[in-house]
Amino acid sequence: MKELVIVSGKGGTGKTTITAALAALAPNPLIADCDVDAPNLHLLLGPEIQSTEEFIEAKVAVINPELCTGCGACEVACKFDAISPSFQVDPIMCEGCGVCFISCPADAIEMHERLSGYIYASETNYGPMAHALLLAGESNSGKLVTRVRELASNLAKKHGRKLILIDGPPGIACAAISAITGASAGLVVTEPTVPAIHDLQRVLELFQHFNMPVMVLTNKADLNIQKAQEIEEYCHQKGIPVVGELNYDPIMYKAVVAGRPIVEYAPSNMLSKGLKAIWKKVEQQLDAFQEA
């Protein structure tokens, strides 16, 4: 089974709209939205949820007022200002560290599990999909990404899918590392701006660190042709394949508003034709990486 993770150095490069288009072009893919902090892929693929699982990874302190003596030790101990002077825990501020639990001389504090999000197994017109929702204010996105990937792998086996397309988080933080680690290859979507090129280099270093094959796609290339050429030259020097360039076209936003992948919304548009050619190159490159 191949796992292609589509990432970007920063948000706003068009990573998710491109992932949606590739999901519509790929033959029988399993789709995973691992951009759990800002999941958007469902808006373009219209998944119908088949099953829901709770994601419980965090804890929250709960004070039993019947046992509390009002000594104040917990309020002093909490470095997150989550305990009020009247010894109430603010569940949003509480990081679940357990220091108050250890500090309480009256054993008045319990650490309860708390719901951090949901994990979904869904069906779409393009294939089964694993995705998630991280509740507001919750952390642990790296663990949630791992859970979504586990579900994606199980669904792929169950449905006999040989390719998992992962919409990964932007950047190089914990969630991005969780999405990249162990995948077959990466596709980095970038754009020709100075910050985007800087972020591209950091993401490529991440792939290099994990000794993973990677390819690059420049979106909105015509917004700065010189910078697009710089990206191509940089990748060429590093031996990283560039699978193509896409020009800026506001029709992409119309497809997003319509909630459909661009290759279905406007199949004869130049963007769609470009994406079809890019998908062929991505497939060839995946085969080449596997043979290498």
Please tell me the distance from the alpha carbon of residue 225 to that of residue 219, in angstroms, as a whole number. 11
Query: Which one, 72 or 182, has the nearer CB to ligand SF4?
Result: 72
Exactly one of 55, 87, 126, 265 binds ligand SF4 (CB under 6 A); that residue is 87
Query: Which one, 69 or 154, has the nearer CB to ligand SF4?
Result: 69
- Binding status of residue 275 toward ligand SF4 by CB under 6 A: no
Rounded to a whole number, what is the distance in angstroms from the first to the last CA of the chain? 16
SS3 124: strand
Please tell me the distance from the alpha carbon of residue 130 to that of residue 42, in angstroms, as a whole number. 10
Residue carrying structure tokens 């072009």:
25
Exactly one of 89, 134, 185, 242 binds ligand SF4 (CB under 6 A); that residue is 89
**CA nearest to 285, candidates 188, 196, 190:** 188
- Binding status of residue 62 toward ligand SF4 by CB under 6 A: no
The 32-61 contact track toward ligand SF4, x by CB under 6 A, reads -----------------------------x
**Contacting residues for 253 by C-beta, under 8 A, at least 6 apart:** none
The 201-240 contact track toward ligand SF4, x by CB under 6 A, reads ----------------------------------------
- Binding status of residue 94 toward ligand SF4 by CB under 6 A: yes
**Contacting residues for 127 by C-beta, under 8 A, at least 6 apart:** 23, 26, 28, 29, 30, 31, 159, 161
- Binding status of residue 109 toward ligand SF4 by CB under 6 A: yes
3-state helix, strand, coil in the chain (%, to 5): 40, 25, 35
Exactly one of 24, 30, 45, 104 binds ligand SF4 (CB under 6 A); that residue is 104
Exactly one of 68, 174, 212, 223 binds ligand SF4 (CB under 6 A); that residue is 68
- Binding status of residue 72 toward ligand SF4 by CB under 6 A: yes
For residue 81, the minimal CB distance to ligand SF4 (Å) is 8
Please tell me the distance from the alpha carbon of residue 77 to that of residue 40, in angstroms, as a whole number. 39
Query: Which one, 103 or 247, has the nearer CB to ligand SF4?
Result: 103
Exactly one of 43, 62, 99, 177 binds ligand SF4 (CB under 6 A); that residue is 99
Angle (CA) 162-190-270 rounded to 5° is 75
Cα-to-chain-centroid distance, residue 103 = 37
Residues 125-184 that bind ligand SF4 (CB under 6 A): none
Please tell me the distance from the alpha carbon of residue 195 to that of residue 87, in angstroms, as a whole number. 46
Exactly one of 26, 74, 255, 278 binds ligand SF4 (CB under 6 A); that residue is 74
Binding site for ligand SF4 (CB under 6 A): 61, 63, 68-74, 77-78, 80, 82-83, 87, 89, 94-100, 103-104, 106, 108-109
